[in-house]
Copies of this chain bind each other. A is one copy, B any other.
Amino acid sequence: MSSTISPAQLRQQIRAGSHQTNTSGYCPGYVQANVAILPKDWASEFLQFCQRNPKPCPVVATSTKPGDPIITDAAADFDIRTDVPSYRIWENGEMSGEVSDIGDYWRDDLVTFLLGCSFSFEEALIADGLEIRNITEGKNVPMYDTTIACRATERLHGNMVVSMRPFKPADAIRMIQICSRFPDVHGAPVHFGDPEAIGIHNIDSPDYGDAVTLKAGEVPVFTACGVTPQAVIMAAKPPFCITHSPGCMAVTDIRNSQLSVL
């Protein structure tokens, strides 16, 4: 893992096919984003869904018009067809392929969405001296399906997926303050404490990612998760859709600090 190269240098490697794996730990200080690419007729509804559910679906950047593969909001030269390490192709809600370049799949009606990811706020928490358990333990953050309903649109509906990080209460209060500054990367948590209250029956058995240690005196703190929009889209089974492969994010030129509203 090299953390010294710039986002532009990393994207150059990705574009050249020499980096096709996850982007965790690369380019600290810069926003990494979840990717969703949808045909125009689904894109407008998805944007409405994001507007109604900003905590799980914070839109950081979009293409300026359908069919345009250059996402200037993310970086002047960001080409969504080549600049993500790995993509998943979905047809009618089923994954039909995993590729490192979507040039062959590109269409004039595709709209790109980059959605904020927890890497940005985790960096701010660590900079403040807080311990992020999934990072300390070298695991993927544990994620859980919940009974918290998203606000639906005509075809898009479902429950929120949340990530969980354990903190002592005083640290949880600080975490809430810091995350509140970052509405574009999920913002303040949605719940803490009793997992059952949001429909999580076994904290040691996450629906996605890995379980982490919950120490005595700590409470689980639950944050809206970027897996939510993917799960909602897949459940709606649009005829065509492209996402990033898990952990293989869009690495942008946007600085994490620029997402802070305060």
Contacts and interface: CB of A to CB of B under 8 A. Distances in A.
A191 B169 contact: yes
A195 to B, nearest CB: 11
Interface stretch (A44-52, A71-79, A128-136, A171-179): A171-179
A32 to B, nearest CB: 25
Interface in A181-195: 188-194
A217 B192 CA distance: 11
Interface string A25-62: 00000000000000000000000000000000000000
B193 A173 contact: no
A219 interface: yes
Contacts of A189: 173
A170 B193 contact: no
A1 interface: no
A232 B188 CA distance: 35
B173 A192 contact: yes
A180 interface: yes
A197 interface: yes
A127 interface: no
Contacts of A191: 169-170, 173
Contacts of A262: 262
Interface of A: 169-170, 172-173, 176-177, 180, 188-194, 197, 217, 219, 262
